[in-house]
């Protein structure tokens, strides 16, 4: 049996009840993407429910254990690959859902990449650190609200489904986790990259007025006035969709 690797952010799920919570909503017609399949505890649950499971796992040493866990299923395809660089467009048939226990060390950038680049995914249901879940779901003017919340919420509706104890993992992490569900709002906007640049600039210095974080202060000031904001507004006061409107105005 292979041992969890800290450098890969591996915390293997060992509780079947949590696996069923992550797999909730998966139906017999669904093609599902799992990232960080590990030893296959969740993969087997998904295979029982789905039409097909694309299981992505980076660690070559654990692939034999994953193959053994799903030996009785003909509807699992294992892809040994890095989830951050994997070409999801090659998956055939394309997945419509994500169900995963995401590796802790890549979860934040990976979720954003999946939302921005893998438009076939309609529902993303996964486990991440509770802190990351709070950042995704944060409301304006809260301490957790920042560029990450804005970028995720512009593309998906966010729901924190379930808090998860460290005891359900091997090895147990030092923090609590959460099951999060994202429901895609619609097609990825064509100007997604430009919106991302504006949002990152807006939150580059939280203490500054928003206009002072943007390159064209005069145009930004006028656009903010058109949105009903005064000159002293800060980034954390804008709703996600107001950032999209601001980007369009600029």
Per-residue pLDDT tens digits for 99-109: 999 998 899 99
What is residue 95's three-state secondary structure?
A: coil
CA gap 243, 250 in Å, rounded: 11
Tokens at 171, concatenated? 């090895």
- Between 240-249 and 192-202, two packed helices, what is the crossing angle to 10 degrees? 110
Tell me the pLDDT tens digit for each residue of 62-91.
999 999 999 999 999 999 999 999 999 999
* pTM of the complete model beyond 0.75: yes
pLDDT given for residue 9 in this prediction:
57
Sign for the CA dihedral angle at 38, 40, 42, 43 comes to positive
Average pLDDT over residues 163-171: 93
What is the residue-averaged pLDDT of the chain?
A: 94
Average pLDDT over residues 51-68: 96
- Give me the percent of the chain exceeding a pLDDT of 70: 96
pLDDT given for residue 194 in this prediction:
93
CA gap 190, 194 in Å, rounded: 9
Query: Hey, what long-range contacts does 142-151 have (CB within 8 A, 24 or more apart)?
Result: 142/236, 145/236, 146/203, 146/206, 146/236, 147/199, 147/200, 147/202, 147/203, 147/235, 148/108, 148/112, 149/240, 150/199, 150/203, 150/238, 150/240, 150/243, 151/112, 151/115, 151/195, 151/196, 151/199
Residue 3 has pLDDT above 60, yes or no: no
Tokens at 148, concatenated? 């990450």
């Amino acid at each position: 049996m292979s041992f969890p690797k800290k450098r890969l952010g591996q915390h293997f799920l060992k509780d079947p009840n949590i696996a069923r919570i992550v797999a909730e909503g998966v139906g017999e017609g669904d093609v599902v993407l799992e990232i960080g399949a590990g030893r296959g505890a969740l993969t087997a649950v998904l295979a029982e429910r789905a039409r097909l499971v694309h299981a992505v796992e980076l660690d070559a040493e654990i692939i034999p254990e994953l193959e053994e866990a799903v030996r009785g299923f003909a509807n699992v395809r294992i892809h040994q690959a890095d989830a951050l660089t994997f070409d999801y467009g090659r998956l055939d048939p394309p997945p419509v859902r994500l169900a995963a226990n995401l590796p802790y060390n890549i979860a934040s950038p990976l979720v954003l990449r999946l939302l921005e680049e893998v438009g076939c995914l309609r529902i993303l249901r996964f486990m991440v650190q509770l802190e990351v879940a709070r950042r995704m779901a944060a409301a304006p003017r809260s301490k957790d609200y920042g560029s990450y919340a804005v970028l995720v919420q512009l593309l998906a509706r966010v729901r924190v489904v379930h808090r998860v104890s460290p005891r359900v993992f091997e090895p147990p992490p030092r923090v609590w986790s959460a099951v999060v569900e994202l429901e895609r709002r619609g097609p990825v906007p064509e100007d997604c990259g430009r919106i991302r640049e504006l949002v990152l600039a807006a939150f580059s210095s939280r203490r500054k007025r928003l206009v002072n974080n943007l390159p064209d202060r005069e145009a930004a000031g006028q656009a903010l006035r058109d949105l009903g904001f005064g000159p002293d507004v800060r980034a954390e006061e804008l709703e996600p969709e107001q950032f999209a409107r601001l980007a369009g105005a600029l």
